[in-house]
A and B are shown apart, each in its own frame.
Chain A
Amino acid sequence: MSRLEAKKPSFCKSEPLTSERVRATLCVLKGILTSSYGPSGRLKQLHNGLGGCVCTTSQSSALLANLSVTHPILKILTTSMQNHVSCFSDCGLFTAILCCNLIENVQRIGLMPTTVIKLNKHLLSICTSYLQSEFCGCRILVDFSSTQTLLCLVRSIVTSKPACMLTRQEIDHISALILRAFLLTIPENTKDCLILGKSIIVPLKGQRVTDSTVLPGILLEISEVQLMKILPIKKSDTFKVALFCASLSGDLSDTGEGTVVVSSGVSLENAVLDQLLNLGRQLVSDHIDLVICQKVVHPSLKQFLSMHRMIAIDRVGAALMEPLSKVTGTQPIGSLGSISPSSYGSVKDLCTEKFGFKHFLHLIPNEATICSLLLCNRNDTAWDELKLTCQTALHVLQLTIKEPSVLLGGGCTETHLAAYIRHKICNEPESILQDDGCTQTELQLLTEAFCSALESVAGSLEHDGGEILTDMKYGHFWSAQPESPSAVDCPDLLSRCGCGLYTSQEELRWSFLKSTRHPFAPQTCLPHEAVGSANNLTLDCFTAKLSGLQVAVETANLILDLSYIIEDKN
């Protein structure tokens, strides 16, 4: 019987955004996010007063997952960002900061939400169509004939996670490993569609980062006791593998809904064990070298198998089953009886290896798209951060294969985009004014709010109090050392722009990012030679950033549109 209880009435609040408390909490959240942004971002140490390990991070996924927000508006914002991160892995902080900036800026100008939402949507569509257009000045097409661009992309990602605690040399090593691991998952001959394999990250904590390595195939961790049992592996050109998904522990299978009556003196355990040993005999006669089982293998069967010079490994778990069946080319066996010979697989080579203090059985495939990334770092928290970084980088590489472009990073895309929108709105506002019925002033106010939101995302990259500038030709982002004479007067202090594409050698005019300036047309159409010559660019994932931009504006629109909050306090 269900329990009936009178429900408490809900709590209803109007115009939530105008409340001081909401503004204050939004401001705090924004502070946390901006201070973590970029390569020089500050680290956050999250520790739960109720227990659990301490987490040191500057990544959005870890930050947002561990922060507990209570206000519904913040909840919307953070879940939106978390959903974005789980889709694209990258650009979480960018999205969150942009969203906060937009809300803050729009509130400051105090326009009607209706107008704001319509105009925001228009500005967003200008952004997306520009970024996707051919003459876009901040997008680079990826050249797959060399690994240069991809390596830059991976290095930018690894660099932007300071909590991994990597030195310059380690960053280079890890970036190269990630790229190699990714390349190993690409099948050699494909027909019509590309099915990528998988890189399995194998943890090895307490070792030097430079000990990390990539191996083709699968590493199965085995204990030292198991290792002793494994006799020296005889050499042959292929090893036959049987992969079981059914339990080999000798438990009775499901007996149906009725009752089963067993007469006294009849031992079902014996019967099942007989069946298992029969299976073992069949495996012997089929010349199997390696038996892998997802679940438990009965000790007697294990004994029997090792007597016949077979290696038996059990409890590999469901997660490894798919890669294992791919590496060995088998189909997991679900039967204890007659096994069709076609469901056996093989590996090219089999060897035991020791990394650090762990022993592994290494399955080397003939040809497969599975590889193992053995990842080392000094301590747990740094390792966790590095693992997240690697996953992000691998995901970003996959996204880049799908959509072969990258965006300029280091804040240059944001400032360039802001300059483009300002110029466009200043010169041709008619298109928007016509179908929306808003005034020129409203449009200008909102454009300013939108562009400055974008620019302050770029500005959050600078944490050391340096000056942030933009040039008046390309609209790129430049930051100068603090405690020095004003950079506008001494351009020699500026070496390279945020993304590293341009140097200050050229005749450029600079202006402070936060100051007001005349709209100018940033140079569109990236010159091809400029991209080719620069080899140390900071790059961002195109798909993730584009979607992040859209999600940020949509979420901001959503939050600005709220007129009531109804809280169910039951």
Chain B
Amino acid sequence: MAAAGSAKVALRVAEVLETIVSCCVGPEGRQVLCTKPTGEVLISRDGGCLLEALHLEHPIARMMVACVSSHLRKTGDGAKTFIIFLCHLLRGLHAVTDKEQDSLISKNIQTHRRHWKNCCQWKFISQALLKFQTQVLDYIMGHYLSKHFLSIFSSSTKERTLCRSSLELLLEAYFCGRVGRNNQNFISQLMCDYFFKCMACESGCEEVFELVDDYFIELNVGVTGLPVSDSRIIAGLVLHRDFSVYCPADGDIRIVIVTETIQPPFSTSGSEFILNSEAQFRTSQFWIMERTKAIMKHLQSQNVKLLLSSVKQPDLVIYYAGLNGISVVECLSSEEVSLIQRVVGLSPFVLPHTSLRYEICNTALMNFCKPLILRSKRYVHLGLIGTCSFIPHCIVLCAPVQGLVEQHKSALHGAFKMLRQLFKDLDLNYMLQASDQNYASSLLTYKNSRESTPLPEIVNGSMQSPYQGTVVENKGKLATTQTYLKIYSNFVVPSIELETHIPRSIPKVTPTDTYQTDETLRYLSLAKTRIVDDSEPFMESNSANSTTENTRIEISYENLQVTEIAGRGSMLAVREKSLEMCTSHGYCFSSIPAGCVLPAGGNFEFLLHYYLLNYAKKCHQSEETMVSVIIANALLGIPKILYKSKKGNYSFPQIYVRTLHAIQTHQPMVSSQTGLESVASKYQLLTSVLQCLTKILTIDLVINIKRQPQEVYDQDSEEEV
């Protein structure tokens, strides 16, 4: 297969995938039924799931699917948009190259054509794309788009509080693309309720996301045969098994976890037990029995009412547990054990080898422990008292068929993944163009700006984000900041020493440095902020300093807060973080702060489209212009599908014209959909697609090998051949 063919083939493949995927996009999307060879029937609107289920054969298609799934592992969202966007990009590229081959009139294009042909056009384009992705995209995001960002946190107070209504909007938009139309609102409400019930305090939300994401399977129960509306949240933890023995208990209930059988075995592994007489056998059996009895008695005396075991316990243990009023749950999975350990901070009980005098310290208190019957199946329901910021709750998901339960489960899991991503800052770094220097400096007011100096200047700043309470304990916070400061000064000192031979710069550096420490400390005392130390770029610039002898260090610090209130959601506001610049190398570090959102329904695409076109106009290099225009146009593919079924005032061209007008005149944008979507995930999606595209374009030959994969190691298969 020739090189030029690869893009064409990729376009064909992507178009086929697009037709399948586009029917599931957005709030109007429909469902797809997947059957498995095992006879299971799965209902899905999840792009990743559909692509996996197709078992594509074509090598390029398989590569695309691999790219999508690696993107999904990272973000948990955006598979369908991935394919649509990729398809439009390929279409755009195809159109451009076709045109260039056709048109022979313009001299300019003529030269271009030669140029393209000469230096292997596809590779060239892919390089341009890569350059765009690493440099231009971050720049546009950081400089233009960030003005429009809204935040999921309400900004009324200094502390960061999660706004329930905006979280609801965010989840609604998310579930619009994931679950069936008649259950969208219900599931997003359920998720929202669940999250707020589980969260002990505002500051612990990240821990909650992490925990729920990690142990999602253990935290929900699927019930088939009931209408979806019967799904509910129950307090406590539900284990997917029944009691081996249940003794009703109330009041002070304590639990222990064991990971081995309580009854001592005859012999442990690696040892030998020699029986010399029948009497010896009898006495050892008697000892085992007495020992088991004693341990269970001891547990009872410590007020233990529930024994959780990760292994199967012998009948004898169950019997004595019952006699002593201890309920037993056996065969817990390792995930369940570790979840309980994390929630209540309990470590497994180690059987004492000698005396049973002392107290057992590895116990935890519990509110209740009772059987729970869901659809005539019995479960263990534990009222654990959480010691971390997660208050244990379980979701009971009901649906007529298992496939629907699975769909809701995976959608909820994906939503938690998405939120987990959303609550992280996303760093952007990009090269500043010479022409944009002015723009950047006008945006930021430098404390000690020295634009006029002929020497390149280094602006070092630490990114300080008002991160309320992500640190586990308040006390530890101060300590960590202090250590950070120490590290910080360690970094600074060598650079000062380096510069000592330039007498002018010494007084410059030291005062700014102290200023900065002051600033940090002030922040610390003021708003309980945690300092996110981005030491890597700092080190980078330091090492760079050592190479360039006559650089002058100048540290500038600015914590800029741009607050913009949207027309519709007045409670939403953006908090632009301190930007950090390092202009000596032209690098610019910025970030998409945690919790940044935009209204759903193509707003991100419209904005990026607009700014990319603007950027393209200013560009000097033709290939950069071309790439920007292609990407800008491809972005519109998503809103085109979203508004496909709408008519009249809400048809795509109408919306497009109105939105662009709104952006130009700095008015709030119109959107027919309520709901929000995460900026960070959109951004990540964009970079993933561009990476995938460059991968596709750099392939020049697909070699078809007709041989069994080498891993196949089976005699049967050889016989078959």
Contacts and interface: CB of A to CB of B under 8 A. Distances in A.
Contacts of A568: 34-37, 53, 55
Given A257-B265, A266-B281, A3 B717 contact: yes
A260 B275 contact: yes
A554 B224 CA distance: 13
Contact of B401 (A7, A83, A117, A340): A83
Interface stretch (A51-59, A492-500, A557-565): A557-565
B53 A84 contact: no
B191 interface: no
Bin chain A's interface residue count.
35 or more
B267 A259 contact: yes
A326 to B, nearest CB: 13
Given A80-B400, A257-B269, A551-B225, A566 B34 contact: yes
Given A558-B404, A564-B33, A83 B225 contact: yes
Interface string A526-542: 00000000000000000
Interface string A1-29: 10111111110101010000000000000
Interface in A251-286: 253-263, 266-268, 270-271, 274-275
B375 A87 contact: yes
Nearest to B709: A4
Contacts of B318: 245, 334
A118 B35 contact: no
Contacts of A8: 55
B20 A12 contact: yes
A332 interface: yes
A87 to B, nearest CB: 4
A382 B294 CA distance: 55
A535 B53 CA distance: 57
A266 B285 CA distance: 15
Contacts of A261: 272-275
A261 to B, nearest CB: 5
Contacts of B32: 562-566
Given A79-B401, A268-B275, A72 B289 contact: no
A75 interface: yes
A569 interface: yes
Contacts of B228: 554
Contacts of A14: 23
B684 interface: no
A331 interface: yes
Contact of B717 (A5, A117, A569): A5
B714 interface: yes
Contacts of A267: 278
Interface string B316-331: 1111101100000000
Interface in A491-529: none
A335 B316 contact: yes
A226 B385 CA distance: 54
Contacts of B403: 76
A346 to B, nearest CB: 18
B714 to A, nearest CB: 5
Contacts of A114: 28, 181, 645
B282 interface: yes
B24 A563 contact: yes
Nearest to A338: B289
Given A113-B30, A257-B265, A561 B180 contact: yes
B248 to A, nearest CB: 11
A355 B43 CA distance: 52
B55 A10 contact: yes
B181 A551 contact: no
A544 B410 CA distance: 29
Interface residues of B, number: 75
A87 B33 contact: no
B390 to A, nearest CB: 29
Nearest to B315: A334
B144 to A, nearest CB: 35
Contacts of A185: none
B18 to A, nearest CB: 13
Contacts of A338: 289, 293
Contact of B225 (A73, A86, A256, A260): A86
B30 A561 contact: yes
Contacts of A85: 225
Nearest to A570: B37
B31 interface: yes
A255 B180 contact: no
Contacts of B293: 338
B297 to A, nearest CB: 11
A77 to B, nearest CB: 9
Given A79-B401, A254-B265, A569-B37, A554 B227 contact: yes
Which has the most chain B C-beta neighbours within 10 Å: A255, A554, A562, A569?
A554
A121 interface: yes
A331 B275 contact: no
Nearest to B264: A256
B272 A258 contact: yes
Given A16-B33, A561-B30, A263 B275 contact: yes
B54 interface: yes
Contacts of B275: 260-263, 266, 268
Given A340-B323, A567-B35, A259 B400 contact: no
A257 B30 contact: no
A481 interface: no
B316 A334 contact: yes
Contacts of B713: 1, 3
Contact of B267 (A86, A245, A255, A558): A255
A245 B33 contact: no
Interface in A111-141: 113-114, 117-118, 120-121
B41 A570 contact: no
Nearest to B30: A563
B106 interface: no
A407 B376 CA distance: 23
A419 B504 CA distance: 94
A274 B314 CA distance: 21
B286 interface: yes
A331 B400 contact: no
B215 interface: no
Contacts of A335: 289, 315-316, 319-320
B402 interface: yes
A566 B37 CA distance: 11
Nearest to A548: B227
A72 B289 CA distance: 56
B350 interface: no
Interface in A50-99: 72-73, 75-76, 79-80, 82-88
Contacts of B36: 568
Interface string A233-259: 000000000000110000001111111
B525 interface: no
A62 to B, nearest CB: 17
Given A79-B401, A337-B289, A256 B33 contact: no
Nearest to B293: A338
7 contacts: A3-B713, A118-B182, A257-B268, A266-B276, A334-B316, A334-B318, A566-B35
- Which 9 residue pairs of A and B lie closest in terms of their CB atoms, listed nearest first? A256-B265, A258-B267, A334-B319, A334-B315, A83-B225, A257-B269, A550-B227, A87-B225, A563-B30
Given A271-B282, A274-B278, 14 more contacts: A79-B401, A121-B182, A255-B273, A257-B269, A258-B272, A261-B274, A262-B275, A266-B281, A332-B319, A332-B322, A334-B318, A561-B180, A568-B36, A570-B55
Interface of A: 1, 3-10, 12, 14, 16, 72-73, 75-76, 79-80, 82-88, 113-114, 117-118, 120-121, 245-246, 253-263, 266-268, 270-271, 274-275, 331-335, 337-338, 340, 342-343, 547, 550-551, 554-555, 557-558, 561-570
Interface of B: 20, 23-24, 28, 30-37, 39, 41, 43, 50, 53-57, 180-182, 224-230, 265-278, 281-282, 285-286, 289, 293, 314-320, 322-323, 375-376, 399-404, 645, 709, 711-714, 717
